[in-house]
Homo-oligomer: A and B are copies of this chain.
């Protein structure tokens, strides 16, 4: 068991119509001039943005708006947001949307609170010393950015996708109304469930320092999302299932399910990042497409965890050798992916890389992680290429 720090200061306000509390919460955390940052048109079309601005108008809180945050949010829009905040003396950011809007807002927050080039933080060149305070109204349960310390930004030039984490960017509040996620396309809901589970699975499949209580919480969270993802497939307007998944999304990535271990494996995410850089694929679907190949490549080096996962999460039969049980768990996970129409390989994901592209992705992935990475099994460039090849 390793030492750890646990810091989740975000005030979560969870339930129906809770977006009505937004002005009250902004005032509680000292916001006087707001940048409302959002993504595509759905926030506008659904009337949510109008409801939010009406609430701020009534409360006498001034604001400016900036839409356009896209999946894999772009650095260009971050620059635009920083400039707008400085020009308008913005002192509080409100992200309305999913991970794209939140991550983009976090980057804007770093840019306003720190002198110099904001990309430096994402390029590992220096550390931020602050971030503009940030609140969230969440519309997609997936990335967990609403409670996490992390954000991922893509620099358009060369399509470089990088993450930066610091406690400064943990949102002050997060409004979680499960009803706001009911209009999501089924595919996005399933991608979200996959992403949520993967955030905890990345922390779970390790060879270092695991705590029993962390495992128990992680397994409970995974079972809950697995069950409710299937309920939502058949009944997308099921409020309770939306709520289970939404709350799981925040807990899966706020640090809770990693306390006491070595930080996690995270190679599935890294392998997917290169896919997401090369192809226009949804993050959750990309994760599902490579996970099985990753799992089969590494499970023998992390057998006790894969066995535990098979029994306690996938609830497979406890018979046969440890290897057989572990493999049965991997197969059961892939069956689950198929059951919610997630891919289990690149073909099902709808991409068909050439051998040259696989080599290129493996190379970029290896460079991106500094040569090698992983806890279930440490992977080098050759291993990454083998997993990509197996995932065709």
Contacts and interface: CB of A to CB of B under 8 A. Distances in A.
23 contacts: A1-B240, A2-B15, A3-B14, A3-B16, A4-B14, A5-B11, A5-B12, A5-B13, A5-B14, A6-B11, A7-B11, A7-B12, A9-B11, A211-B243, A211-B247, A212-B227, A213-B220, A213-B244, A213-B247, A216-B219, A216-B223, A217-B220, A219-B220
Nearest to A228: B212
A18 B6 contact: no
Interface of A: 1-9, 11-16, 18, 211-213, 215-217, 219-221, 223-224, 227-228, 239-240, 243-244, 247-248, 251, 256, 259-260
Contacts of A259: 14, 247
A243 B1 contact: yes
Contacts of A228: 212
Contacts of A227: 212
Contacts of A247: 211, 213, 259-260
A251 B220 contact: no
A371 B370 CA distance: 65
Contacts of A216: 217, 219-221, 223-224
Given A5-B12, A8-B8, A224 B213 contact: yes
Given A9-B9, A9-B11, 18 more contacts: A1-B239, A2-B15, A3-B16, A3-B18, A5-B11, A5-B13, A6-B12, A6-B14, A7-B12, A14-B259, A14-B260, A211-B247, A212-B228, A213-B220, A216-B223, A216-B224, A217-B251, A256-B256
A388 to B, nearest CB: 34
A214 to B, nearest CB: 8
Nearest to A12: B6
A143 to B, nearest CB: 18
Contacts of A212: 224, 227-228, 244
